[in-house]
Amino acid sequence: MAEILKESPLKSVQVEALVVMKIIKHCSQTFPTTATGSLVGMDVNGVLQVTNSFPFPAVEVPSVDSHHDSNSATNAAAAAPRAKANTVYQSDMIKYLREVNVDANNVGWYTSANMGNFVNANVVENQYFYQKEMNERTVALVHDVSRSSQGSLSLRAFRLSPSFMAAFKEGKFTTESLQKSNLTYRDILVELPLTIHNSHLLTSFLHQLPSKPPSGPLDFPASLASLKSDPNAPQPPLYPNYDSLDLSIDPFLEKTCDLLLDSIETHYTELNNHQYYQRQLAREQAKITAWQQKRKAENATRAAAKQPPLPEDEWTRLFKLPQEPSRLEGLLNSRQVEQYARQVDGFTASISGKMFAVKSNLLPGDGQQ
């Protein structure tokens, strides 16, 4: 049984409504600081059922000065899942949960995000920590607070791909190793389909949410058929949501643009680092070849003079090649840009739909009618 479990990969994630509510509450409370927490549940036939969650305690950071405060706090919160104190807290918490008969199986962690800016070293390291230490079947749930506030819930589940896990284990992200392992930015994270699951009890409760009784006297049913379609019959719960008809395009796109510009800046920084490295490397190599040629000539004269030749591999001791900068940051940045791009893509898809729905205002010249 255990063997089979290990073999079958995770196919999807199923999250209990309770967990969703808890995550939303936690994340929006701490917004804009990153919030993190632990997930418990179990894995059933490739479907990871997340049945409960609890937040990690917010780390108290001694505020050095106003400017640094938010930054370090964010960092501390983001790094919470792999902090030592928190592992203890987490195991304690799971122990208590078992006592109240909750699934006592750690299946991952969750984090909050702002406009999809979650692809960074922290997330990767946290997930690596979980996937390596705890067990293979753990996920990271990302709740995007900003996007959720626009009407549609944004909750996504991610895992690190096995190839990335291997590369990260080695800790080497040089051009060479990337070429060998054929790792691209697309291979970092694997998104899993996510469904929200309500217990039947809850569904039926929702469907029976009491609506107000009609205030005036009711008309008699006109026909038999009208009896069947009861006007007082409850609608599907909490539907429709008028928030999703929000037409404010600018704030979202502006924010995304800003983030994209930031990413491009990061990209240029990375680029410069790499170019610097390459220049250094070329310079060192030129020096080494010069040394080797000199040594060869020397050896030739020594051979002519019947003297033992000098060793030709001394350059390894004399010269030190510069360390290639890690490409991880670049990879993550690329992934992040992709994330933003998709986000905009999805957004525009839905927003153009809405725009056509209010078409009369869309076409220029028609607006006045």
- Distance (Å, rounded) from C-alpha 256 to C-alpha 114? 10
261 binds another protein (CB under 8 A): yes
CA angle at residue 164 from 45 to 139, to 5 degrees? 40
Which residues, at least 6 apart from 314, have a Cβ–Cβ distance to it below 8 Å?
295
355 binds another protein (CB under 8 A): no
Q: Residue ranges of the alpha helices (H) in 239-249?
A: none
260 binds another protein (CB under 8 A): yes
Q: How far is the CB of 253 from another protein (least distance, A)?
A: 5
Nearest to residue 60, comparing CAs of 73, 71, 51, 48?
A: 73
Q: How far is the CB of 261 from another protein (least distance, A)?
A: 6
Q: How far is the CB of 367 from another protein (least distance, A)?
A: 13
Mask for 266-295, x = binds another protein (CB under 8 A): -x---x------------------------
The answer to whether the beta carbons of residues 40 and 134 sit under 8 Å apart is no
As to burial, measured by CB atoms within 10 angstroms (0-12 exposed, 13-18 middle, 19+ buried), residue 71 is: exposed
254 binds another protein (CB under 8 A): yes
- Distance (Å, rounded) from C-alpha 130 to C-alpha 142? 15
- Which member of 69, 191, 258, 314 binds another protein (CB under 8 A)? 258
CA angle at residue 45 from 40 to 47, to 5 degrees? 50
- Using the minimum distance from each CB to another protein, give the nearer residue, 51 or 263: 263
264 binds another protein (CB under 8 A): yes
- Distance (Å, rounded) from C-alpha 81 to C-alpha 103? 19
Q: How far is the CB of 258 from another protein (least distance, A)?
A: 7
Of 45-53, 237-245, 254-262, 327-335, the segment contacting another protein by CB under 8 A is: 254-262
253 binds another protein (CB under 8 A): yes
Q: How far is the CB of 189 from another protein (least distance, A)?
A: 23
250 binds another protein (CB under 8 A): yes
Residues binding another protein (CB under 8 A)? 249-250, 253-254, 257-258, 260-261, 264, 267, 271
